[in-house]
Chains A and B, each alone.
Chain A
Amino acid sequence: MAVPKRKMSRSNTRARRSQWKAEVPNLVKTVENGKVTYSLPHRAKVVTDSAGTELFMEYKGRKVADV
């Protein structure tokens, strides 16, 4: 089995790890019942009743799938 010959330096480890950067997702802003919500574009949303129970997923006024 191949094994590393040398210990990886702290500097090299940190240089590798610093290359990973989180991306800011593109969100769409919508106002529902006076409440501003941010959501991913072109994605079905979960419809809930007044008690907060999840009913089904909806997209463009059409029932798409069960939760």
Chain B
Amino acid sequence: MPKPTKGPRLGGGPAHERLMLANLAAALFTHKSIKTTETKAKRLQPVAERFVTFAKKGDLHARRRVLASIGDKTVVHELFTVIAPQVAEREGGYTRITKLGFRKGDNAPMVQIELVLEPVVAKPKSAKKAAAAAAAEAPVEAPAEAVAPAEETVEVVEAEATEAEATEAPAEEKAAE
């Protein structure tokens, strides 16, 4: 659920802001990536991600709730049939904002907001968490597997060593003879 915005609305009033954000979201879903000002993009991000969440649910009720904001049926159809399956594996964070620079004319900071449609890549665990996970698993597995084979290997190595000495010793004796 997007956090309610404090302070003045974008545009002329609340209705203007709702329309503007809905239109920006529609443009984002049509083009997958749009260039806008940083303020608008930051306001758009929670709105657009909420639409994607509805699209992932995919039932008629969700579709009607999105259609209440975005009037264009073709855009909503695209969102539910094309975009939603692509982000099915992703747990939130469906959009990405990249800062570009400043607009000529009013020096407004411009950004590119895009849908993150790449397949999800599992993040390698940080060293701390990996160590903690290993420590949690270790007491269960280590006594059973790690210790017993180690003792066996030591015995085997000793046995081999004695055999090797045994074989070397006669060879040396033969050489002496």
Contacts and interface: CB of A to CB of B under 8 A. Distances in A.
B73 interface: no
Contacts, number: 21
A47 interface: no
Interface residues of B, number: 8
Contacts of A42: 99
Interface on chain B toward A: helix, strand, loop, or mixed SS? strand
Interface string A30-54: 0000000000001110000000000
B103 to A, nearest CB: 13
B101 A43 contact: yes
B50 interface: no
Interface in A4-18: none
Contacts of B33: 65
Interface in B18-35: 33, 35
Contacts of A43: 99-101
21 contacts: A42-B99, A43-B99, A43-B100, A43-B101, A44-B98, A44-B99, A44-B100, A44-B101, A44-B112, A57-B100, A57-B112, A59-B98, A64-B98, A64-B100, A64-B112, A64-B114, A65-B33, A65-B35, A65-B98, A65-B100, A65-B112
